[in-house]
Copies of this chain bind each other. A is one copy, B any other.
Amino acid sequence: MKTRTDAGSARQAGSAPVTIDLTAVIVAVTDAQPRVLTLGPSVGQLLECLPSGPLTRRHRTLEQGLRTWVEAQTGQSLGYVEQLYTFGDLGRQDPATGDSPRTLSIGYLALVREPRSGSADAATWHDWYRYFPWEDWRKGRPEVIDGFEPILSRWAEAGETAGERHTRRERIAVTFGHHGSNWNEDRVLDRYELAYEIGIVAESHRDDSGARLAPHAAGSGVALAGDHRRILATAIARLRGKTKYRPVVFELMPPAFTLLQLQQAVEALAGIRLHKPNFRRLVEQQGLVEETGAVTLGTGGRPARLVRFRREALLERPAPGLRVRAARKRQTTGVRGKA
């Protein structure tokens, strides 16, 4: 790709040595909880991190490099994989490293069916709301947000000009909604970035020495090494968004499942509760599933039909997905957690 070099004006500015880190957000849903695979912490490594490794000559494609590293580090082999974003800003680098060999991380989202519990190494599955407690609205508005609200307002009112204060208030309204209403579950990354900027989140303080407004709020979740929590936020946002127009949830489901299991998986990802009868109709009317003929036994109630994903849906609809919105009342299922 050097052939066009001459076309530019001042090209020979000396490209710095760069290392590429391939980083994976590996997601599964078990027992109606969204889980993500992390490594550590260990000696000499204070924080947990996502599986990741440098791109080498032996990797023909970026994705192949990612799969190789993940398998080596976690024993997990990946099915569905999708590139998320490339992070490479200076100044957000881990201070320990220094800036000398610049590192870019290319983040990936991977979906797997079963968290085969840590066969290899120190890989462990964690509920992803451990890192984003404010993102789980399934049991109602999370209390941690109460702690954020004064910090957010203080930041808004600390704007220099009237215009800036207005912009800040608007930004808060868009990302976090107005106290409880207008919550948009897709804006995971926007919320993390705002929290990072304001200093709600531990990483803000680690990354820069300058004083931030807020002193790392209580309930701001578990931090990860480097940019990894940002990458995780990107993954959750992408997955929540994509669910709505592409049948990605099924990558997380076993070959046969009940409609309730499917609903709980969607709820787990989106962090909201859904209306059961309407959810079922949505799924069936979109033609996303078909009968297997089998039924489950002993789920604590009437046996449920087992269904499977119906691939033909891809041909029939331009955007086959689950365009869901939170139920006003708790119209879903009774007890959650252990399914």
Question: Hey, which bits of chain A sit against chain B, CB under 8 A?
Answer: 1-4, 6-11, 13-21, 39-40, 42-47, 49, 51-58, 60-62, 69, 72-73, 83, 85-86, 88-91, 93-94, 96-97, 102-106, 121-122, 170, 173-174, 182, 184, 186, 225-227, 314-315, 318
Contact = CB atoms under 8 A, between A and B. Distances in A.
A176 B49 CA distance: 41
Given A86-B86, A170-B315, 14 more contacts: A1-B97, A1-B103, A1-B226, A3-B94, A4-B45, A7-B45, A7-B49, A8-B53, A9-B73, A11-B53, A13-B54, A13-B56, A18-B19, A83-B86
Given A88-B55, A173-B315, A314-B174, A72 B19 contact: no
A90 B60 contact: yes
Given A1-B225, A93-B1, A104-B20, A57 B7 contact: no
Contacts of A7: 39-40, 42, 45, 49, 73, 122
Nearest to A10: B72
Contacts of A19: 15, 18
B45 A225 contact: no
Given A1-B94, A11-B53, A69-B8, A60 B45 contact: no
Closest 10 CB pairs of A and B: A15-B54, A4-B49, A1-B226, A16-B57, A61-B89, A7-B39, A86-B86, A2-B97, A184-B318, A4-B225
A38 to B, nearest CB: 10
Interface SS majority for chain A: loop
30 contacts: A3-B96, A3-B97, A4-B39, A4-B47, A4-B225, A7-B39, A7-B40, A7-B42, A7-B49, A8-B72, A9-B73, A9-B121, A10-B72, A13-B58, A14-B57, A15-B56, A18-B18, A18-B55, A20-B88, A55-B88, A55-B102, A60-B90, A62-B89, A83-B85, A83-B86, A86-B86, A170-B314, A173-B315, A174-B315, A184-B318
A209 to B, nearest CB: 16
Contacts of A318: 182, 184, 186
